[in-house]
Amino acid sequence: MKILVCISNVPDTTTKIRFSEGNTSIDTAGVQWVINPWDELSLTRALELKDNSSAGVKSVTVVHVGPASSEPTIRKALAIGADDAVRVNAESKDAYYVAAQIAEVVKKEQYDMILCGIESSDYNGSLVGGMLAEFLGIPSVSSVSGISVEGGDTVLTREIDGGKEVVKVPAPFVAVVQKGIAKEPRIAAMRGIMMARTKQIRLYEPLSVDPLTAVTVFEKPEPRAACKFVDPEHPEQLIDLLQNEAKVI
Amino acid sequence: MSVLVYVENWDGKFKKLSFELVSFASETAKMMNSSVIVLSIGKVEDSELKKLGDYGAGRVLALENELLATLDSQAYSNAIAEIVLKTGSKVVILSNNNTGKALAPRLSVRLKAGVGSGVSKLPLSTDPFVVYKRTYSGNAFARVEIRSPVKILTLAQNTFHLTETPGNAVIEKIELPEEITGSTKVLDTKKQSGKILLTDADIVVSGGRGMKSPDNWGPLLELADALGGATACSRPVSDEGWRPHEEHTGQTGKIIAPNLYLAVGISGATQHLAGVSSSKYIVAINTDKDAPIFEAAQYGIVGDAMKVLPKLVDALKKR
């Protein structure tokens, strides 16, 4: 079995987001770039499956759509343990554009299990995984919080509103994964970092695809009013405020 | 030119989320001088389908078929896409919940339709078609222009009001447009019963590491009970196993938007706020007056939760 993990390069989640002139893009000065947290968990689970010989995983490849400047993030994925990587040499235009590029890679290279994080922490779209599956005409299961491979069958646990379902899915497929898939993201060890330097990042030139959407402008969230403090000796005043001022209880 | 909205059901019943979707679709249709078509898939009684009419649905298409008994994203999106084409709908609306996230992207590729995902407001304009969505986990919002002829929107839960408009929905039973079979097989379903779902709750009481021990949760549960709310927790609490993972709210956990979010002993790290910042009101109870949670909160109490919570419960009971 060959696993492909799609990774996105995002600002560290603690980054204070600032916009560039005209508010059409973010100001990248001083931004620390990391693997999107859900993609990092996908990669971790893929490597756990590879470590478990009964799952029969031959290789774990990561794919990223981005310019050369995102290579440090790909190297990080290789240092964590991915066998090799593919970079499609293009700036992301929208989710549709990214999914179309990854679909081309999959068509050429053939993978059995494709993992995508449920969303990227920058655009919060929750789109690339499902789009990729539709481009390829293969099954997709979303909100996946567990993957196991037993006797050649892949069984996924997915979250539904108010519960969980256990779903059997034939390969090849896309699993869109969320929290629960792996306990903690795997961290690169020194040996992994050394080995990553010699691992291959294969380069693809992008397909010409028209995006369907465009961000026209970014805005800061509306500032909240200052906090009103209630005397801790008289917390019943809080109940009064919630009932008569906020009118939420 | 119509607006098509897909509403799922839970054991044959709709919930607030479904009516929010229909309200949102009706208002969007009004902006476009168009009408709303609601699509329901699964076994739902006519009396329940009729309720959709109270929120502006003029026409309800009801599709019931064994082949769509479980959510197979491929089969469902094929069926919905066929109906979109047949009805000539130009805007397709789904929830941004687990189901919507499974279907919207597949529909997008099938219909070559751009998606505005997780929108929390009506479109800012319909020509050009511009939507407003949360980005950077709530640290920024973006105006996104959808340029394709057909547009797909997924609505963030609990962000749109219900608009009751007395009306009468015409129910049409429809058949599957073609033989559609899925490839996934649901082996088992585990449903959470009895409790209010965190993502549905109007009021959420949430505990953080400041609660100090899993043994201290009693007063917090009592407060949630007295308010008729659901309970949640921060990531360290679920990581420690003090509370179940289902309760974890935050960037990597559940993203919620209740009317009232009470954060008890939660300092308010960026990652936590990313999951709760769309709440209408945030109340913080914390011993540290400099905790960042107070910057996000409208009401605060600087004090010990163990002393404050029982008093709040008493005050609520006396109401």
CATH (residue range B203-318):
3.40.50.1220
What percent of chain B is predicted at pLDDT more than 70? Answer: 100
**H-helix segments, B136-269:** 218-227, 235-239
* Separation in Å, CA B191 to CA A161, A165, B229: 9, 8, 19
Put simply, the answer to whether B114 touches A142 (Cβ < 8 Å) is no
Is A242 inside any structural domain? no
Same fold flag, B3-174 and B203-318: yes
φ/ψ of residue A222, rounded to 5:
-60, 135
**Pairwise CB contact (< 8 Å): A129 & B105:** yes
- Rounded to the nearest angstrom, the minimum Cα separation between B139 and chain A is 7
**Domain limits for position A86:** 2-222
**Closest chain A residue to B101, measured at CA:** A126
Mean pLDDT of B254-267: 96
Distance (Å) from the C-alpha of residue A198 to the closest C-alpha of chain B? 32
Q: In CATH, what is the architecture of B3-174?
A: 3-Layer(aba) Sandwich (3.40)
- pLDDT value of residue B134: 92
Q: 3-state secondary structure string, B25-42?
A: HHHHHHHCCCCEEEEEEC
Residue with tokens 């706020």: B273
User: Is this complex's ipTM strictly greater than 0.90?
Assistant: yes
Give the C-alpha separation, B23 to B19, whole Å. Answer: 6
- CA-CA-CA-CA torsion sign (B217, B221, B227, B232): positive
Q: Is A225's pLDDT higher than 90?
A: no
CB-based contact B270 A14, cutoff 8 Å: yes
Q: How high is the pLDDT of residue B97?
A: 96
Helices (H), chain A: 37-51, 71-80, 95-109, 128-136, 190-196, 236-244
pLDDT tens readout for residues B35-79: 999 999 999 999 999 999 999 999 999 999 999 999 999 999 999
B315 to A236: CB separation less than 8 angstroms, yes or no: yes
Asked if residue A156 is part of any domain, the answer here is yes
- Which of A102, A140, A150, A212 is the best substitution to test chain B (most B C-beta atoms within 10 A)? A212
What is the phi/psi pair of residue B112, to 5°? Answer: 50, 50
Residue B308: which of A127, A216, A235 has the nearest Cβ?
Answer: A235
Interface of B with A in 112-141 (CB under 8 A): 112-118, 130, 133-141
Say how far apart CA B270 and CA B147 lie, in whole Å: 33
pTM attached to this predicted model: 0.94
CATH number (domain holding residue A64): 3.40.50.620
Size of chain A in residues? 249
CB contact under 8 Å between B136 and A11, yes or no, is yes
Sheet holding B260-264, edge to edge: A228-229, B299-302, B281-286, B260-264, B203-207, B230-233
Q: Which of B70, B103, B298 to mutate to test the interface with A (most CBs of A within 10 A)?
A: B298
Six-digit token pair at A182? 């792996």
Where are chain B's structural domains?
A: 3-174, 203-318
**Cα angle, residue A132 at apex, residues B61 and B89 outer, rounded to 5°:** 25
pLDDT of residue A83: 97
Partner-chain residue, chosen from A230, A231, A242, that has the shortest CB–CB distance to B260: A242
pLDDT digits (tens, 9 = 90+) for B193-228: 767 889 899 999 999 999 999 999 999 999 999 999
Whether omega before A172 lies within 30 degrees of 0, making that bond cis, reads: yes
Q: Tokens standing for B115?
A: 């998606």
What's the domain count of chain A?
1
Q: In chain B, which residue ranges form alpha helices assigned H by DSSP? A: 16-31, 46-50, 73-87, 98-111, 218-227, 235-239, 270-276, 293-296, 305-318
Interchain CB contact of A151 with B (< 8 Å): no
Residue contact B109–A242, C-beta within 8 A: no
The pLDDT value recorded for residue B1 is 81
- Using a CB-CB cut-off of 8 Å, the residues of chain B touching A212 are 108, 112-115, 146-148
**Looking at the domain assignment, is residue A248 inside a domain?**
no
**Alpha helix positions (H), B32-97:** 46-50, 73-87
